[in-house]
Amino acid sequence: MLHTRIFQFNPLETNCVVLWADENPACIVADPGMSSPDGVARLTGFLKEKGLTPEAILLTHGHFDHVWGVMRLLELYPVPVYMHPADKDIMSQITGGFRGMEKGFEFLKSRFSTRDLQDGDELSLAGIGLKVLHTPGHSPGSVCFYVKEDNLLLSGDTLFAGSIGRTDLAGGDYDTLMDSLLKKVMVLPGETDVIPGHGQPTSIAREAQANPFLQPFNEPDADWTQDGIPIQGI
């Protein structure tokens, strides 16, 4: 049986997810966004309480709020860090593409190596099988991690409860994000639980029914012309 624990770290309340399976002392830590020693203590205290040791760190993308605590975690657990290579340039920037947010934050420069992820990769970590879905749009290297056996998706900042990832940051693109959502994410079974990069968990079925960004009226009208529709009458 798969178990998950969600922690919200840093001023942007990034969801850091710990995943582990029954009868296995190893675990996975996804998006460790701890921005303070207190956050690190919360996470490591939980791991010690459960008798868990990280086997790998997974990054849904390279924005600073999702990688903030990687170096601090690696000091305690020197494990591989997995990320899509398309986000290496973004991660090398202190603010990770968030222009204008330099003041008021103690940014941590990322100085760690990563193992490259590609679309369709099948990972087996801590007794858990995950499939990598490359879902660019929020950032060039955004990925989702799909645990098919347990109907779980870590969607990062690609899909939220009632919303989608922002595309106004460096490397973001709305059309690319919508393409990723419609072709990679929303085709998953409706019963798939979704843990996003921020906010509350949801499901594919719930977002298909209620997410305003994913409703049919948002799709282009093939019959629409640039001149519009002529109106008859007064």
Residue 197 lies in a domain: yes
pLDDT in tens, 199-212: 999 999 999 999 99
Model confidence at 91, in pLDDT bands (50, 70, 90)?
confident
Q: Quick one: pLDDT at residue 143?
A: 98
Task: Give the count of beta carbons closer than 10 Å to the beta carbon of residue 15.
Answer: 24
Q: Quick one: pLDDT at residue 234?
A: 40
pTM: 0.88
Token code pair at residue 182: 């419609």
Residue 233 lies in a domain: no
Residue 62 lies in a domain: yes
105, pLDDT greater than 80 = no
Q: Quick one: pLDDT at residue 89?
A: 86
Residue 225 lies in a domain: no
Residue 231 lies in a domain: no
Residue 229 lies in a domain: no
Model confidence at 218, in pLDDT bands (50, 70, 90)?
low
Answer whether 195's CB lies under 8 Å from 154's CB. yes
* Contacts by 113-116, CB closer than 8 A, 24 or more apart: 113/81, 114/59, 114/81, 114/82, 114/83, 114/85, 114/88, 115/80, 115/81, 115/82, 115/83, 116/82, 116/83, 116/84, 116/85
CA separation for the pair 142, 120 (Å, rounded):
13
**Nearest Cα to 107, choosing from 67, 140, 62?**
67
Residue 165's contacts (CB-CB under 8 Å, 6 or more residues apart) are 137, 138, 142, 156, 157, 158, 159, 172, 177, 197
Answer whether 30's CB lies under 8 Å from 59's CB. yes
Answer whether 32's CB lies under 8 Å from 68's CB. yes
Range of the domain at 180: 2-218
Counting residues of the chain whose pLDDT is more than 70, the rounded percentage is: 84
Q: How many domains does the chain have?
A: 1
101, pLDDT greater than 90 = no
CATH number of the domain encompassing residue 207: 3.60.15.10
Torsion of CA 61, 65, 67, 71, to 10 degrees: 170
- DSSP-derived secondary structure letter, 120: T
Residue 226 lies in a domain: no
